[in-house]
Amino acid sequence: MLQRRQSYLADARETMTKILKTHFQGLLLLAKGMLNWIGVISEKKLRKIRQHRVVTYHQHLTALSPVSVHRISLVKKKILVLDLDETLIHSHHDGTLRSSGPHKQPNTQPDFTLKITLDRHPVRCFVHKRPHVDLFLSVVSQWFELVVFTASMEVYGTAVADKLESRSGILKRRYYRQHCTLINGSYRKDISLVSKDLSSIFILDNSPGAYRSFPRNAVPIQSWFSEPTDTALLNLLPLFDALRFVSDVRSILSRNKETVY
């Protein structure tokens, strides 16, 4: 009887040992699998970090590589159409905001003051540049032909464009209110007046009504009134850098039309 009991206990211990050994091996396999999974996830995240690079743009751009020079030689040079008010600058005249709405005037001193005549009355316009506009214009003028297309009156738009280009001649072609079409209270801009080739032209404008006829050629940007920390123009540079290499800007902008910079 005693021998049978001892044999039973020995068998039980052996069975328990096998069970524990099996569970332990299972836990080891599970731990190994989790470590491998963590390693794969970490590698993917690390790969993303490696792929994310900080790109810095300066007024004097570095030369392109031979490969990039060849690629860009295969496509047409693009035309960038630029709006003025609330896109590149904001202005008010003689204490009254030019734009409608409850937007406050900037607290800073204007970057420049214009003296023009509107409806036979002398007017002083106080103009504030959007942050980083000088760097933006300097960089994109090396990539594209720049064209001003504003819904403002010519006497005002000419004076603003002259100040922005500061004798550099980068804003030679200009279109004004008389080139726009007023539809439902919004000035529509026909960029085909600038170029019939819509594969190589795009417009930067804060007003959706301005480019309603050309949504696949538009880069929307938030209206700017006074925010000193605004970086919208800087944020656009990587996109614009890429656009100069494509054969048709619409292939990119049609997929990016919901983004407002």
Residue 218 lies in a domain: yes
Q: Which residues are catalytic?
A: 83, 85
- 208, 249: one domain: yes
pLDDT over 70 percentage in the chain: 72
The mean pLDDT of 61-88, rounded to a whole number, is 91
- 150, 23: one domain: no
CATH number at residue 142: 3.40.50.1000
- 87, 196: one domain: yes
The mean pLDDT of 7-36, rounded to a whole number, is 66
CA distance 113 to 147: 23
- 42, 151: one domain: no
Confidence of residue 188 (pLDDT cuts 50, 70, 90): very high
- 165, 46: one domain: no
Cα four-point dihedral sign 155, 160, 161, 163: positive
Confidence of residue 12 (pLDDT cuts 50, 70, 90): low
The phi and psi torsions of 145 (rounded to 5 degrees) equal -80, 125
The residue range of the domain holding 192 is 66-91+130-253
- 31, 145: one domain: no
CA distance 251 to 226: 33
pLDDT digits (tens, 9 = 90+) for 211-228: 999 999 999 999 999 999
- 32, 74: one domain: no
Residue 108 lies in a domain: no
- 5, 85: one domain: no
Residue with tokens 């980068």: 170
Residue 258 lies in a domain: no
- 85, 134: one domain: yes
- 73, 157: one domain: yes
The mean pLDDT of 27-39, rounded to a whole number, is 63
pLDDT digits (tens, 9 = 90+) for 83-130: 999 999 999 988 443 444 445 566 689 999 999 998 888 999 999 999
Q: Two tokens at 7? A: 């044999």
- 181, 141: one domain: yes
Whether the predicted model's global pTM rises above the 0.85 cut: no
Tally of domains within the chain? 2
Residue 97 lies in a domain: no
- 14, 70: one domain: no
